[in-house]
Structure 1
Amino acid sequence: MKALIRKVIKLSKEKEVVTITREIDAMQSLKGKVAVIIGGSGGIGLSIAKIFNDSGCKVILCGTNIKKLEKSLETFSNSKNVSPMVFNIADIEKIRDNVEKAYSIFGDVDILVNSAGVHTENADFFSMTSEEFDRVMNINIKGVYFTCKEFALEMKKKQGKDKKHILLVSSSRGAEPAWSPYGISKWSLNGFTQGLAQILLPSNIIVNSIAPGSTATELIGVKEGDNIFSEENGNGRLIMPDEVANIAKLLVSPSGDMIVGQTIYVSGGRGVFDIR
């Protein structure tokens, strides 16, 4: 009798029809999409924003300094499709309002990229203060957590057949022994990537993270024209922001829809087999 019931239930379920998908022109792989890039006014975030923009995507460029955001617009090939917006993820009480504002700019959000993050400053384990610990964790984890929550709630309301994407910028440090708030935050971010991917996939939202090694940006004091030699990975140089951005574009495009809950390392082996 139980076998008969199971058979009836199985036959009563309609099978969803899934057609074969075809890759579109890589240069227009994000055409018609809207992306929010948090931490988008410099370094990796700005490179991601520009490559998305070059691929047909409208970009809401978010950061904490409006003058820096407006200055960044000069570097875009299609700046009319880029809107600057002040968004401080450490200000938890304003996240909901900022999400609503982001949706009002272009009418929807298909992609969320969080590239905002800070390093541990001027402290080792024995001199660490609770203020410095909280400063790093509030931005790198707590702010990311609640920003993803609010955007995911909106994405779930507007879900259709096309996937939405959330991409978190982690670090190769997230696979190495950690004592600093920065290292601990990146360990947490990698775990959060997996958990968030699991609970959001049924809502057609794909979550991944990208983990660069030391990247040639102002965050670590590298300026245009500087020597990028480095002993931090086996390739002997720093990672370039565009190298990270190109992988980011893949992960939020239709070509990346079958990559789910992964942390992709762009680190020259650092954090993969080269652990320090």
Structure 2
Amino acid sequence: MNQVDLKGRVAIVTGGARGIGYAILQRLMASGAKGVIWDRDATAIASATASLSSLGEVHGVEVDITSADSVGEAVKSTLGRFGTIDILVNNAGIAGANKKAWEYTPEEWRLVIDIDLTGVFLCCRAVVPVMLEKQYGRIVNIASVAGKEGNPNASHYSAAKAGVIGFTKSLGKELATSGVIVNAVTPAVIETDILKQLTQAHIDYMLSKIPMGRFGKTNEAAAMVAWLSSEDCSFTTASVFDLSGGRATY
């Protein structure tokens, strides 16, 4: 494992209690960061904090990222424990059901948009002022190759992730001279429990689009995010990094 230096940094990972988020936090803490899990599942938080504690200080906060008030309280809890925030990885998200666009109910559409896109905005809205005070921060938003290409039977997810890409580019430009760096990662499918939310037909479709012929691994996502979260990432902002096994064409 290539080592990046995150010693003394405080890193929040949303949806950090399992899957990609857990792997990312594990990698950041192995690089010296103090870890903060923001998740909605209290049981999963307890399990994750227990298993990560061997790597260093870790703090868990139960939070609903679709609620500005809940996110605000999570910031207060994090600052109360560590006094600062250096890194924010917006990883939390859901896939939603697989249907044709016109078959989604408004409620199904809004749920995915609220968690996958508005949640990113609300977390950035709450954390950026903390980073601006010290003129330093690293924000990594986990988008998806679906946001570039548009997966059929996943229009709500594709639209949300396209929104994350656009938001990353806007926010990165707004913060370009502030010392706060903002980038996005666009994975193809990573092998996690999120696959359980999808139909086999949709899983087969997505695998067929990847030239490497396999899904990504959580440690591969974590490795990319670790560099984007470090001081070494200093002249790259408002950018999008592919993690798609050759699928992405731009």
| TM-score (norm. length: structure 1) | 0.82
Matched, 1:127 2:103: yes
Distance in 1 (CA, whole Å) between partners of 2:96 and 2:196 is 15
- Offset at residue 48 of structure 1 (A): 0.4
CA deviations over 1:171-192 (Å, ceiling 9, x no partner): 0111113661100011111011
Indicate how the Cα distance of structure 1 residues 103 and 77 shifts in structure 2: closer, same or farther if over 3 A, else same.
closer
Quote the residue 2:180 is aligned against: 205
Quote the residue 1:168 is aligned against: 141
Q: 2:169 aligns with which of 177, 182, 194?
A: 194
CA deviations over 1:2-44 (Å, ceiling 9, x no partner): xxxxxxxxxxxxxxxxxxxxxxxx6351011000111101111
CA deviations over 1:208-240 (Å, ceiling 9, x no partner): 011110011011139xxxxx9943300011100
The more displaced of 65-74 and 209-218 is 65-74
Matched, 1:117 2:93: yes
Distance in 1 (CA, whole Å) between partners of 2:137 and 2:70 is 23
- Offset at residue 119 of structure 1 (A): 1.1
Matched, 1:271 2:240: no
Alignment of 1:99-118 (within 5 A): 99-118=75-94
Matched, 1:248 2:225: yes
Alignment of 1:137-156 (within 5 A): 137-156=113-132
- Offset at residue 133 of structure 1 (A): 0.8
- Offset at residue 120 of structure 1 (A): 2.4
| TM-score (norm. length: structure 2) | 0.90
Quote the residue 1:262 is aligned against: 239
Indicate how the Cα distance of structure 1 residues 242 and 150 shifts in structure 2: closer, same or farther if over 3 A, else same.
same
Quote the residue 1:39 is aligned against: 15
- Offset at residue 76 of structure 1 (A): 2.4
Structure 1 stretches of 4+ with a deviation exceeding 6 A read: none
- Offset at residue 170 of structure 1 (A): 0.4
Distance in 1 (CA, whole Å) between partners of 2:31 and 2:55 is 13
- Offset at residue 168 of structure 1 (A): 0.3
Instruction: Flag the structure with larger Rg.
Output: 1
- Offset at residue 79 of structure 1 (A): 4.6
Matched, 1:95 2:71: yes
CA deviations over 1:141-199 (Å, ceiling 9, x no partner): 1121121011001211232xxx3101100001111136611000111110111100011
Quote the residue 1:236 is aligned against: 213
Do 1:193 and 1:261's aligned partners in 2 also have CA atoms closer than 8 Å? yes
Indicate how the Cα distance of structure 1 residues 244 and 28 shifts in structure 2: closer, same or farther if over 3 A, else same.
closer
Do 2:4 and 2:227's aligned partners in 1 also have CA atoms closer than 8 Å? no
Do 2:13 and 2:88's aligned partners in 1 also have CA atoms closer than 8 Å? yes
- Offset at residue 83 of structure 1 (A): 1.0
- Offset at residue 244 of structure 1 (A): 0.6
Do 1:39 and 1:117's aligned partners in 2 also have CA atoms closer than 8 Å? yes
* Structure 1 stretches lacking a partner, 5+ long: 1-25, 223-227
Distance in 1 (CA, whole Å) between partners of 2:144 and 2:150 is 13
Do 1:63 and 1:86's aligned partners in 2 also have CA atoms closer than 8 Å? yes
Do 1:141 and 1:185's aligned partners in 2 also have CA atoms closer than 8 Å? yes
Q: How many residues align?
A: 241
Distance in 2 (CA, whole Å) between partners of 1:216 and 1:202 is 37
RMSD (Å), alpha carbons: 2.1
